[in-house]
Amino acid sequence: MIIEYVGVKEINGSLIAIDGIQNASFEEMVTIRLEGGAERTGRIVQMEGERAIIQVFEGTHGIALDNTRTRLQGHPMEMPLSPELLGRIFDGAGRPVDGLGDIFPVTQRDINGTAINPVSRVYPRNYIATGISSIDCMMTLIRGQKLPIFSGSGMKHNELAAQIVRQAKIADDDGTEFAIVFAAMGVTNDVADFFRRSFEESGVLGRVAMFLNLSNDPIIERILTPRCALTAAEYLAFDLNMHILVVMTDMTSYAEACREFSSSKGEIPGRKGYPGYLYSDLASLYERAGMIKGSRGSVTQIPILTMPNDDITHPVPDLTGYITEGQIVLDRSLDNSGIYPPVSVLPSLSRLMKDGIGEGFTRADHAAVSNQLFACYARVQDARSLASVIGEEELSPNDKKLLEFGRLFDHLYINQSQSDNRTIDQTLDLGWKLLSSLPREELDRVDDKILDQFYHPEELPHSVEEIKAD
C-alpha cells in the first residue's frame, strides 16, 4: 500500500519537515509532488520520532506548506550500473549529462555501499604506474591503496590529477582490465571543461567514467558525488574484475558541503564548524578502497584536497591523514619556483609501498634508491639551512656537493612536464645518475652489491643540460 503524506510542517533552506510519517528509514528516497503537478526527489536525512527531515535535491522553491504531497519510495538512493559507464560523463547524482542517453542498467546498487568484512580483504600488492618520478619511486601507489594528495589553493593539483588519469596504468596488463573513475566536486565550469578536454584530447575518455559536480549545483549533489563514483568503481572492480583507480577532487569542497548541510540541520558543530561526525563520514568514503577475496579486481583511491592556508593541521587533511595510507604533499615554494609537480618529498610517504616494489614488482634496486634519495634530500635541507646562515662559500666540499645534488633533484627528478610519462626504469636510472654525483661514502643506505652494479660516477654528465639531453 502506497501512502501519500499531504502537507509540509516546516521549510528550512533545502530541507522540509513532515510530521506523522510511519515506517520510514534513514536515507530513504521520497517523491515530492508540488501543487502544480511537478515532481521533485528528496531523501530522508534525519528522523525524530514521527517527524522526518527531508533534503530536496532540486531545492525547495515553489513548495507549499498545504498541498505538497510526499510519497516514500521504500529504498535508499540507488544507481543504475552497467559496463556502459566507461566513456560517459555524469552529474553529481549519477545522471548522464553527455547527451548520449540514459544508462541501460544491468543492476542497481545502493550508493552508500556495503561494509566490507575485514576478514575478506586482501592485502594490497602490485603497483600502479603514474609516469611521475617522484610518486612512482618515493611514494609508490599500490593497487588497492588510498593515497591522498594534500595541495593548497591555486596550486597545480588539477593538472596533476589530469596527468595521473591520462598516464596511470598497471604494469602486468595490456590495459583492458584497467579503468579510471573521476569525481570532481564543487568545481567551476572552466575546471570541468579542462578535465573533459584533457581526457578527450589524450584519448583516455573511453576508459574513464566522469562525475562532475559544478560549484553552482545543489549542495546535496556534492555529498552524493563521491558515493555515486565509488558505487560505479565497486561495480566495475568486483563484478567485472577490473582494476579501478578513483580520483576525487576536491575533498575540501565535499567537507564544506557537509558543514553547510550540518548547519542547516541545526547540529552542534565540531572543530572549525565541521560536523562532529566528519571523521566517520570521510571514513565511509575512504574505506571503500581495497581488494576482496574471490575477486581479481581492486579499487584504488587518490583523494585530492586543498588545505586552507596551507595548514596541514586543518581538520580535513588531519582526519584524512588518519584514515588513509600515506600522503603526497604539494609545496608552495616549489610551485612558486616553477617546478611541476611541486611534490614535497620529505613529508610525503606511502605506507604500503614496501610490499609492492622490488624484485617481481618493479626492480630489485627500487627500495634502495628510494631510501637513499630520501636520506640525501634530508641532508640537503640541513645544508641549505647552514648556507643561509654562513653563506654557501663557507660550506665544506661535501655540503657543496649536497647543495648541487638538491638543485639537480628539484629540477630534474621532481620537475617534469605534463606530457612526460616516465617508465619505472627511466625513473630509477635517473635516480642513480643523481646519486652518482655524490661521493660513494655518502650513500650509506645502499648495499655494496647494489652500489657496485649501479653507482657510476665516471659516467656522470658535467651539467644539468647534459642530464636533460640524456
User: What is the domain-level CATH number for residue 190?
Assistant: 3.40.50.12240
User: Are 31 and 136 part of one and the same domain?
Assistant: no
User: Are 317 and 248 part of one and the same domain?
Assistant: yes
Q: Give the CATH number of the domain where residue 57 resides.
A: 2.40.30.20
Q: 171 in a domain, yes or no?
A: yes
Q: Which pLDDT score, from 0 to 100, does residue 48 have?
A: 87
User: Are 144 and 94 part of one and the same domain?
Assistant: yes
CB–CB of 251/282 below 8 Å? yes
When computed from its CA atoms, the radius of gyration of the chain, rounded to whole angstroms, is 25
Q: Which pLDDT score, from 0 to 100, does residue 175 have?
A: 55
pLDDT in tens, the chain (470 residues): 578 899 899 998 889 999 998 888 999 999 999 988 889 999 999 988 889 999 998 888 888 888 899 999 989 999 999 999 999 999 999 999 999 999 999 999 999 988 888 899 999 888 999 999 999 999 999 999 999 999 999 999 999 999 999 999 986 655 568 999 999 999 999 999 999 999 999 889 999 999 999 998 888 889 999 999 999 999 999 999 999 999 999 899 999 999 998 988 888 899 999 999 999 999 999 999 999 998 889 999 999 999 999 999 999 999 999 999 999 999 999 999 999 999 999 999 999 999 889 988 899 999 999 999 999 999 999 999 999 988 888 888 889 999 999 999 999 999 999 999 999 999 999 999 999 989 999 899 999 999 999 988 866 554 555 555 55
User: Are 186 and 115 part of one and the same domain?
Assistant: yes
What's the number of domains the chain is made of?
3
Q: 40 in a domain, yes or no?
A: yes
User: Are 91 and 66 part of one and the same domain?
Assistant: no
Q: Which domain-ending residue is among 60, 76, 92?
A: 76
Here the cell at position 395 is: 660550506
User: Are 292 and 403 part of one and the same domain?
Assistant: no
Q: 361 in a domain, yes or no?
A: no
Q: 262 in a domain, yes or no?
A: yes
Q: Which pLDDT score, from 0 to 100, does residue 461 have?
A: 52
Give the integer Cα–Cα distance in Å for 298 and 233: 9
Parent domain of 370:
366-469
Q: Which domain-ending residue is among 53, 76, 99?
A: 76
Buried b / exposed e over 49-77, threshold 16 CB at 10 Å, is: eeebbbbbbbebeebeeeebebebeeebb
User: Are 70 and 83 part of one and the same domain?
Assistant: no
Going through 335-461 in order, the beta strands assigned E by DSSP cover 343-350
Q: Which pLDDT score, from 0 to 100, does residue 327 have?
A: 95
Q: 107 in a domain, yes or no?
A: yes
Q: 360 in a domain, yes or no?
A: no
Q: Which pLDDT score, from 0 to 100, does residue 122 have?
A: 92
Q: Which pLDDT score, from 0 to 100, does residue 220 have?
A: 84
User: Are 62 and 92 part of one and the same domain?
Assistant: no
Q: In this structure, what is the dihedral angle of CA atoms 112, 118, 124, 129, given to the nearest 10 degrees?
A: 10
- pTM of structure: 0.93
Give the integer Cα–Cα distance in Å for 417 and 144: 27
CB–CB of 254/320 below 8 Å? no
User: Are 348 and 392 part of one and the same domain?
Assistant: no
User: Are 64 and 123 part of one and the same domain?
Assistant: no
Q: Which domain-ending residue is among 327, 355, 383?
A: 355
Q: Which pLDDT score, from 0 to 100, does residue 1 have?
A: 56
Q: 400 in a domain, yes or no?
A: yes
User: Are 71 and 85 part of one and the same domain?
Assistant: no
Q: Which pLDDT score, from 0 to 100, does residue 35 have?
A: 85
User: Are 48 and 113 part of one and the same domain?
Assistant: no
Q: 316 in a domain, yes or no?
A: yes
